[in-house]
Amino acid sequence: MRSRLTVTLGHAARLAARLRGGGSGGTAFPGLVMERTDPGFLARTLNRLPRGVIVVSGTNGKTTTTKMVVQLLREQGLKVFTNRTGSNFVRGVLASLLTEVDAAGRLDADIAVLELDEAHAVHFVARVRPRACLLLNVMRDQLDRFGEIDYTASLLHSIAKATSDVVVLNGDDPRLAAPAFLEGVSARVVSFGTGEDLRSLFLSDDDLRTGQTSPRAHQDESQIPGPRVTLEAIDGQRATVRVDGASHEVDFAIPGVHNLLNACAALGVVLEVLGEDADLSGLLTTLGTVQAAFGRGEVLTLDGRPVQLSLVKNPAGFRMGLLSAAAQAQSGEVVVVAINDEYADGRDMSWLWDVDFAALRPGGVAVVTGVRAWDMALRLRYDDVEVTDVEPDLRKAVALMRRVAADTDRPMRIFTTYTAMLALRSILGEMTDVEEVMS
């Protein structure tokens, strides 16, 4: 009876929020109402799932990796619940649940795969103990929220300690692979990573500061066995993925070299959760077909030309976005950089000074936009990157981008922070087909 009332209140809150917002977009407000009025709803609902909950967390790659895990599990025949918008606070999970449960609060799913913000994941696992967790990396990000990077690692440590069955972590991340990180962890620990030839491509946060690849730390294999899944080689969109000692060639559809490592992470946790039921050949085939999550390398068509949205939110993420652009040989792109500093982006934009923008010198940047447009333009000037226009208004910036692309017949790429990405998708949705994603 209580779950039925909670669902009714949640739907009423959703309707009120949509009416107030003009009927567009999703919101975590219904989740907030549910969280405040019925704190036990989350646990009551998710603890009924026969295969439990997988939590995906870490600094970079959560949304895309979560999408990969979901698609892999669905192709293996499981019914999966997920917070597909990337609304990764507890209230965001509740808002997503509201769209999936019936009137009595029952969820028709075998397993849940949830992307969770590092800090909010700690609150989540205090209510719902995950069966498995996938921990991707620890990077400097939103220092106004998290402070120092070791604090972020401590949040992920709390998730690992709360996990009941298996912890899958990045064995190349010095903080996640440290012996101290495993203290108090009772679940099995499995790792994923890269081959030696790719270590200089996927740098840790410490490596980004020093500019050098640090030696791989010696690991006690009784604590963290050697990686079960490794990314061994990359040739364009084709990659060599090593699983249990055997190499497999996979042709990926998803853009971005960083997403190839995310794919290995996703495969690693799915193999552990499915156990002997896993069909490796089918999983590898599915992995090659996964498309980018919204705003994370998502490619739209505008005026008959592609426009790719590349989410950037910290030095490592921006670096990988620039590498991906170079790897796709799109030096002829019309480039836009959109930087906001809202709460969801992180208020502290000083991290932009830790990114090397030299890759943008050959073609320059057509438009810099967003709340911090002038700060970004100044940063690019210090790296001798020519900026044609500075236009803080996102709508006007899109118009400028379209004009340049039409005049030069070139594809477009937008490097964008999170809140600017949401606004840009809304603006572009008035001009072309953009998938509507409700939270």
Q: What is the pLDDT of residue 21?
A: 57
Sheet bearing 365-369, strands edge to edge? 296-302, 305-311, 412-416, 334-338, 365-369, 387-390
Taking alpha carbons only, the member of 270, 292, 294, 293 closest to residue 282 is 270
Q: Is the pLDDT of residue 240 over 90?
A: yes
Residue 348 annotated as catalytic:
yes
Taking alpha carbons only, the member of 357, 342, 139 closest to residue 258 is 139
pLDDT tens digits, 115-126:
998 888 999 999
Rounded to whole angstroms, the Cα distance separating 352 from 293 reads 24
Q: Where in the chain is the domain with CATH 3.40.1190.10?
A: 1-289
> What is the Cα 231 distance to its own chain's centre?
19
Q: Where in the chain is the domain with CATH 3.90.190.20?
A: 298-430
pLDDT tens digits, 243-253:
999 999 999 99
Taking alpha carbons only, the member of 249, 290, 251 closest to residue 270 is 290
State the fold for domain 1-289.
UDP-N-acetylmuramoyl-L-alanine:D-glutamate ligase (3.40.1190)
Taking alpha carbons only, the member of 81, 46, 60 closest to residue 265 is 60
Tell me which of 25 and 234 has the higher pLDDT.
Answer: 234
The pTM for the full model equals 0.81
Residues 6+ apart with CB under 8 A from 75: 282, 283, 286
Rounded to whole angstroms, the Cα distance separating 411 from 256 reads 16
Architecture of the 298-430 domain: Alpha-Beta Complex (3.90)
Rounded to whole angstroms, the Cα distance separating 435 from 295 reads 10
Q: Which of 207, 348, 375, 383 is catalytic?
A: 348
Q: What is the pLDDT of residue 215?
A: 61
Taking alpha carbons only, the member of 271, 265, 270 closest to residue 80 is 270
Percent of the chain whose pLDDT exceeds 70: 87
Q: What is the pLDDT of residue 6?
A: 74
